[in-house]
Amino acid sequence: MSTVDTIKDRLSITDIVGTYVKLEKAGANLKGLCPFHQEKTPSFMVSPARGSYYCFGCGAKGDIFSFVEQFEGLDFMGALKVLADRAGVEIEKQNPAEKTERERLFQIMDFASLFYHKGLSENVAAIEYLKKRGVEVGTIRAWRLGYAVPEWRTLFNYLISKKFSSQEMLKAGLVKPADKGFYDTFRSRIIFPIGNSAGRVVAFSGRIFPVDDTAAKYLNSPETSLFNKSAVLYGYDKAKFEIRKKNTAILVEGQMDLILSHQVGITNTVATSGTAFTDLHAGLIKRFAEKLIICYDGDKAGVSAALRAAVVALRSGLDVHIVRLPDDKDPADMCIENKQAYLDFLSGAEHVIDFALGTALRASTDKRQQEKNIVASVLPYVKVLESAVEQGHFIARIAQASRIREDDLRAELRKLPMPIANASISSVSGKTPNTVNNATSERPIREQVVVRQLFGIMFLLEQKEEKKKVDEIKNELVRIEGKEGLEVLMKRYSNQKEELLFETERAYNSPDFIETDIKELLKRLEIERLERRYAEATDTLAQAEREHDEGKTAELLETCKEISKRLSILK
């Protein structure tokens, strides 16, 4: 048995998908919200019997390997490694020359991460700095923190000795080009490896050490084929299962905020890495949770950043709350100084609209100015809410707190433009939703529906090896559509096999198909086909009569008569 077959034998589709997506029973299948595009009504189906999944919203489909590839952003070898570890299966050693370019980049990032980690173990000052910040030795190991020495080509020379090329280093963002060759991207910095959702290192963030006021405090890897900063959350690989368990994610800004939160056991925490919170970040959180708690620094800049992130999160359908920390505190400080106090702040997080309302009311004691603040900085959050009931709830609360009439607030709300998500951003999977094959538009919708049902039944019968019934349906289709017509249909619907199987399973609770169901569908198809032919024949007949073509007129009259007779029998 191959490695792939062994893994499939040990891990079911439900085992794998169920750890990423909340699934519930739907007949013989399971359903949930698709992890590859944002949706509020479940259209993602999993078939335990067939070991596959299909999304009716975006068309994502496949088995456990393709799911992990799409979800984690891995190639096949990466997915194989993740699933092999999960199944306890050993993968045979692979010839390095046979590795794909993407796998080589993952490998070079891993070598760099270990190199930096070793560098930290040899730098007493950097370790002492981290300890003073409250970072424990176990945390340094768990997060593989590192140190880049203040030399120009130390990592470059090390990776050359490991048979990596300068171009591979450049593609990974580890070096920069210069007139005389290449030099290391990170120098004299404490290194924080950034992993993708599967935990594979895709980038680094470096904090200057020793402190140098002439250099940027933090430096992040450039974007590469492995690293899209708008789609990666620091700590997501370690936090995602706890996020799913608690149905809540906590969002912080800095690396120290993140690792110290995890160190004290608040492990459903994630952080942005050198970028603002994006729709893609929100989509990652939405895969596992409905609630997001934003906990940025307590100063004015932190509050502003939290409110900006909240707009994006609300737009994605998340239930968004914001923590109001003291002005001079950040999450890292709170974790070290008083964990319980920090937990109290988290549990007391306000809904973003309540948070914005409080901020607007405190900004001025002048009632007219307060009203302006509310229209400008509170109502936009209400506008984003899709539920009219929720909008009404918050309008009433704002009216009560501000003493502005509800009708006036609603009037101002109607004037506001609706915040629009970035139209250039597609699904995770990187795929746009499937559209109906243009060729199907040649048939009336009713006829398309019948054909789809018949092919769904045929595909399911094929899986059950009921060849005789399948052949009977095909023979009837040849009689109705002709041999060439059946070949066209077979080619078209074979590409939709997974989708049609899920549609059929969803339509029929029992796997047994009554003969009359198939006969009724074939009859309906023939009626639709004949009625279309009859309409075409009568149109051509009218044209022949206008042209006084007696021979063609007689021929078409006979055709119409035969079609009409057959229709009468069928009906």
Sequential DSSP letters for 286-311? HTT-SEEEE---SSHHHHHHHHHHHH
Q: Residue 447 has what pLDDT? A: 65
Highest mean pLDDT among 319-323, 361-365, 522-526: 319-323
The domain defined by 3-87 folds into DNA Primase; Chain A (3.90.580)
DSSP annotation of 541: H
pLDDT band at residue 434 using 50, 70 and 90 as cut-offs: very low
Residue 131 amino acid letter? K
pLDDT digits (tens, 9 = 90+) for 22-81: 888 887 788 888 888 777 778 888 988 888 898 877 778 888 998 988 887 677 777 888
Residue of 352, 260, 339, 355 whose CA lies nearest to 313: 352
The CATH-assigned architecture of domain 97-220 is Alpha-Beta Complex (3.90)
Report the predicted TM-score, pTM, of the whole model to 2 decimal places: 0.65
Residues sharing a CB contact under 8 Å with residue 407, sequence separation 6 or more, in sequence order: none
In whole numbers, what is the pLDDT of the chain averaged over residues?
84
**Average pLDDT, integer, range 476-496:** 86
**Residue 107 tokens, joined:** 């490998």
Write phi, then psi, for 135 (nearest 5 degrees).
Answer: -80, 125
pLDDT digits (tens, 9 = 90+) for 297-313: 988 888 888 988 998 89
DSSP for 462-493 reads: HHTT-HHHHHHHHHHHHHHH-HHHHHHHHHHH
Pick the CATH number of 236-348 from 2.60.120.10, 3.40.50.460, 3.40.1360.10, 3.90.226.10: 3.40.1360.10
Range 414-422, long-range pairs (CB < 8 A, 24+ positions) = 416/379, 416/380, 416/383, 418/383, 418/384, 419/311, 419/315, 419/380, 419/383, 419/384, 421/279, 421/315, 421/316, 422/278, 422/279
DSSP annotation of 44: E
d(CA 169, CA 224): 11
d(CA 65, CA 486): 33
Give me the residue label for tokens 């974790």: 335
Q: Is the pLDDT at 494 greater than 90, yes or no?
A: no
**Average pLDDT, integer, range 204-208:** 95
In a 3-state reduction of DSSP, which class is residue 165? coil
Tell which wins on pLDDT, 387 or 246.
Answer: 246
Q: Residue 409 has what pLDDT? A: 92
Tell me the domain boundaries of the chain: 3-87, 97-220, 236-348, 355-415, 438-570
Residue 537 amino acid letter? A
CB neighbourhood size of 406 (10 A): 13
CB neighbourhood size of 388 (10 A): 8
Quick one: which H or E segment has residue 114? helix 101-121
Q: Is the pLDDT at 254 greater than 90, yes or no?
A: no
Q: Residue 548 has what pLDDT? A: 82
